[in-house]
Amino acid sequence: MRVAGLSGFDVDNTVKELMKAQRVKYDALDQKKQTFEWTRDAYRDMNLQLTDYRNNKLFKFRLEGTFNKKDVTVSGDSEAISAKATASASGSNITVSVQKLAVAAHNFSKEEVAKAEFDRTKPLIEQTSNLLHGTPLSSAYTFKINGSESIVIDTSKDSINDVISKINQKTNVTAFYDESTRKVSFMAKQTGLVNGADQKGDTILFEDVSGDFLSNVLQVKPEGAVKANDAEITINGLTTTRSSNTFTVNGIEITLKKAGGTTATIEPKTKVDEVVDSIKTFISEYNDFIKLTQDKVAEARNRDYLPLSSEQKGSLSEKQIEQWEKLAKSGLLRNDPILSKLTNSLRLAVTANVDTGHPTIRSLASIGIDTGDYSEKGKLVIKDETKLRAAIENNLDAVQALFTRPAAEGGSGSETGIANRMYAQLKTGLDELVEKAGVPNTTSFDQSVVGTQLLQVNKQLNQLDTKLKTMENNYYTKFAAMEAAINRYNSQSAYLANAFGTNSK
């Protein structure tokens, strides 16, 4: 604690005024630190926006499904089949006639398994009197169905519900106990010849490994079993079979519904409007991102607006501080080489040719998309939508390759689709931004360029702060000594005046 000014001399204000001149260098260094922090934050904000564009917007244009929008129509015997296009559907027509539908094998208890009083939730051993098996119930049984893993039944613990659950979980058969008939039904989970130990048979294979649970307790007999069969169909003139009534041909999922031998024709059609909308979205999002980077690079720098010191902020309102800092932060990334290079790389990626394998569809310009005039700075526009629609309708694979074709290992890069080129360029930009200003949403100092600058300026500020505190203490020490001297002189003066005054009387 300091006590000063007893002589009437304003020590505090004098020291404050003396320190003002000494703090000019500190304030300038503190402003430099604030500028570094704002610059770091500006780079990191661009990092976040670049990441959002790359991962949440551009990424989908690397996927074939974004462009492969197809539908199908079924003519002829449309009751015989249904069809839908998948992402890999080709444009060729398919004719189908159904001679026989695929059927699943099934079987069921030949006699009632239990009495009406039977409780399906209680352990089997407790239900012995309510079961209709012909021999005493054993404590344990083991069996297999269709060559499954062994199913072990503990009659002291397992109920009929537990038995049904084990069958459904461990085999390729679905079983259920019917309360009305008091029988168990078994049906293969797949249609066709998928049964038996070799998974090629037409009937479900029941094997009692230990005991006779299947044949005696559940009353399953081979007589009366319904056999499975594969579907018999003719596709584009070729007679063939399928184990399932649903299968895929040339990217079109076909479901057989009715046998009869009449012909149905499946005609794939491209959803041109949806593909056009996807490409319009690509253009819009690209234009927005390019504008963002270009605006940052071209933003004016207000060099007259430096960061405010604490003393300056004290004389301003919050709104004034906000307005001042908005101007002070403007243009921090003006002419930034990372953003400038990234912008140029992206513009080249969207305008350069792509080896799509098609003789004419090799660039955006070839499908009616081009850059605007010079004033629009590389903005993409659809100049000929008719041309774009024709390319999509007649050569969708080439349009798709134009965007989505992956880079070939050891290739020249000419084969890489536009979206994949951009994706790679954005990754390079992200790496450079991290090297420049570190990872977003971190507060500790890092080894980035701006992080190193901040570390250095912080060290200088700490050294200068220590120096200023020492200087301020020295001022107070000197003024304290001056105060003490003045007080001594005043005391001596008073003593002398008092002494002379007494003598004169």
- CA–CA separation, 379 and 290 (whole Å): 8
Tell me what the pLDDT averaged over the chain comes to: 90
Name the band, by pLDDT with cuts 50, 70 and 90, for residue 464: confident
Lowest mean pLDDT segment, chosen from 11-25, 59-73, 196-210, 324-338: 11-25
Q: What is the pLDDT of residue 19?
A: 65
Is the pLDDT confidence value at 304 over 80? yes
Q: In 10 A of CB 260, how many CB atoms?
A: 12
Q: What is the pLDDT of residue 231?
A: 97
Q: What is the pLDDT of residue 492?
A: 76
Q: For residue 140, give the 3-state DSSP assignment.
A: strand
Name the band, by pLDDT with cuts 50, 70 and 90, for residue 423: very high
- CA–CA separation, 269 and 72 (whole Å): 6
- Mean pLDDT score, 85-101: 88
Q: What is the pLDDT of residue 373?
A: 72
Per-position DSSP letters for 354-379, written without gaps between them: ---SSSS--SSGGGTEEE--GGGTT-
- The rounded percent of the chain whose pLDDT value lies above 90 is 68
Percentages helix, strand, coil for the chain (3-state, rounded to 5) are 45, 20, 35
**383 dihedral zone (left: phi>0; alpha: psi -120 to 50; beta):** alpha
- CA–CA separation, 126 and 260 (whole Å): 52
pLDDT digits (tens, 9 = 90+) for 346-386: 999 999 999 999 999 999 999 999 987 777 788 999 999 99
Is the pLDDT confidence value at 4 over 50? no
- Mean pLDDT score, 218-230: 93
Q: What is the pLDDT of residue 92?
A: 85
Q: In 10 A of CB 318, how many CB atoms?
A: 8
- Alpha-carbon Rg of the chain, whole angstroms? 43
In angstroms, how far apart are the furthest CA atoms of the chain?
Answer: 152
- Looking at per-residue pLDDT, the higher value among 176 and 485 belongs to 176
Is the pLDDT confidence value at 56 over 60? yes
- Mean pLDDT score, 470-478: 76
Q: How far apart are the first and last CA of the chain?
A: 46
Q: What is the pLDDT of residue 319?
A: 94
- Mean pLDDT score, 194-222: 95
Residue labelled with tokens 């002070």: 328
pLDDT digits (tens, 9 = 90+) for 78-88: 999 999 988 77
- Mean pLDDT score, 219-236: 94
Phi, psi values for residue 238, rounded to 5°: -100, 120
CA dist list (Å): 65 to 19, 89, 274, 327, 443 = 69, 10, 11, 45, 40
pLDDT digits (tens, 9 = 90+) for 117-173: 999 999 999 999 999 987 789 999 999 999 999 999 999 999 999 999 999 999 999
- Mean pLDDT score, 6-31: 72
Name the band, by pLDDT with cuts 50, 70 and 90, for residue 3: very low
Q: What is the pLDDT of residue 502?
A: 58
Name the band, by pLDDT with cuts 50, 70 and 90, for residue 2: very low
User: Which helix (H) or strand (E) segment is 477 a member of?
Assistant: helix 449-504
- CA–CA separation, 50 and 46 (whole Å): 6
pLDDT digits (tens, 9 = 90+) for 385-400: 999 999 999 999 899 9
Q: What is the 3-state secondary structure (H, E, C) of 318-344?
A: HHHHHHHHHHHHCCCCCCCHHHHHHHH
Q: What is the pLDDT of residue 503?
A: 56
Q: What is the pLDDT of residue 15?
A: 67
**331 dihedral zone (left: phi>0; alpha: psi -120 to 50; beta):** left
pLDDT digits (tens, 9 = 90+) for 107-120: 999 999 999 999 99
Q: What is the pLDDT of residue 30?
A: 84
**Helix 418-437 with 337-351: angle, nearest 10 deg:** 170
pLDDT digits (tens, 9 = 90+) for 439-457: 998 776 678 998 888 888 8
**Helix 396-404 with 385-394: angle, nearest 10 deg:** 100
Q: What is the pLDDT of residue 340?
A: 95
